[in-house]
Structure 1
């Protein structure tokens, strides 16, 4: 075992949630070596073909990562790891934020036909027709929206093109928060408190949070405050804002900083959106296993 490989404790936590050995010919009998190869590529960002030979064939690592990103295996592993740590999740203050990742030139040029999983002929779970590639002023970019708990660990992630705004994505990314309970029952989907910057301030988002009884600390932009005052009594009451609670927004920023410590996340090299979503999910799993 070398630096970056899964040690015995994280492997023991993740192994029960991986797909079992099925079929003939000893298929999928070396999960640990292949996952270590996937993590090595995550950390260094090298091309798949340049993986060291100690991880086996590079195509085996690539195909398994692509397959598990397509059939939501990585998402299931993430939720299983979150379930194991459910008692340690800090629901008292959950933060939401986004970050932009520059897309490498090799990430562009995916074919227009929808990608399919070999032998199953179904659409990947995280497929996006736009491949989550945007062309803003800075060039090809992808934006990662995430919700992180007070322990600086991702609860849910969502990828969109780089030019998409933050406010319209608050509801979709919060809908992805589903942490199963160890004792069974409905998964935990509602945090106690949500913090976000002024980019998430909108009437639609505040109505949604009030309807779900989620307390929130989101500053009101100057133009929205002026419009509310101009409307008079029809503009509603001023939004509450606690500066002391807003200081905890650094927790989600530290979560993004840890997530982009993986070079394959900081720069997008994957052509397909569902594969890059799997790449971000693997990085989130690694952060949970570290804790």
Structure 2
């Protein structure tokens, strides 16, 4: 074993001598110059042999998470998808916010999103329980089927329970959406990138529904 090992060592020494002979011609790619003082800056493509941390291309200020649809809620640091679908549970439009955002303030936005179709009824969960939301729906000629919270005052005696059962279809749509790993794990950092992935996932859901019906 001494013979081959000595031959490899001699080869390494000759190679280092060749690289050290022309340090200014940027021929160092992997090996460092033997016996020479190494500068504290990056030289040529050997960008990993410096001590100080430096930006990759140009100096930029650090970007925070402002406006990236990220927020901390009870479930942790997450993103909330406000989804609007038809009665068959097929997606029509969506809006992204941080996980700490409430549902009720975005009721009007969801009504305005999507195709220009006037629905006869709107089904939403208790998170959208507000007099302003019901009044807004009725002003547009839409019957609101939004359950009242347990602590709400002046709760009406009648509630369209049979119609409200159709809201389970939007939960089924969310279940299909969570099957996409990049959506469930929020792999994209920016809001624009994540919205593109969500839109692509909804396209796959729509395409599959067309070929199966």
Task: Give the TM-score band, short-chain normalised.
Answer: 0.5 to 0.7
| Conservation of the 8 A alpha-carbon contact between 1:175 and 1:189 | no
Aligned residues between the structures: 148
Q: 2:166 aligns with which of 224, 248, 266?
A: 248
CA distance in 2, matches of 1:145, 1:248: 17
CA distance in 2, matches of 1:131, 1:224: 34
Q: 2:72 aligns with which of 135, 138, 142?
A: 135
Any residues of structure 2 matched to 1:202-241 within 5 Å, and which?
Answer: 202-225=130-153, 228=154, 238=156, 240-241=158-159
Distance 1:221 1:160, change over 3 A: same
**Which structure: larger Rg?**
2
CA distance in 1, matches of 2:75, 2:146: 28
| Conservation of the 8 A alpha-carbon contact between 1:265 and 1:280 | yes
- Partner of residue 193, structure 2: 275
Q: CA deviation at 1:212?
A: 0.8
CA distance in 1, matches of 2:157, 2:108: 19
Greater fraction helix: 1
| Conservation of the 8 A alpha-carbon contact between 1:198 and 1:221 | yes
CA distance in 1, matches of 2:157, 2:66: 37
Would you identify which runs of 4 or more consecutive aligned residues in structure 1 move more than 6 Å? none
- Partner of residue 91, structure 2: 154
| Conservation of the 8 A alpha-carbon contact between 1:141 and 1:161 | yes
| Conservation of the 8 A alpha-carbon contact between 1:149 and 1:155 | yes
- Partner of residue 174, structure 1: 111
CA distance in 1, matches of 2:75, 2:190: 20
1:180-228 deviations in whole A, cap 9, x for unaligned? xxxxxxxx33212111111111011011101111112111112222xx3
Q: CA deviation at 1:159?
A: 0.6
Q: Under a length normalisation based on structure 2, what TM-score does the superposition of the two structures give?
A: 0.64
5+ residue gaps in structure 2? 1-61
Distance 1:278 1:195, change over 3 A: same
1:198 matches 2:130: no
| Conservation of the 8 A alpha-carbon contact between 1:156 and 1:174 | no
CA distance in 1, matches of 2:98, 2:121: 28
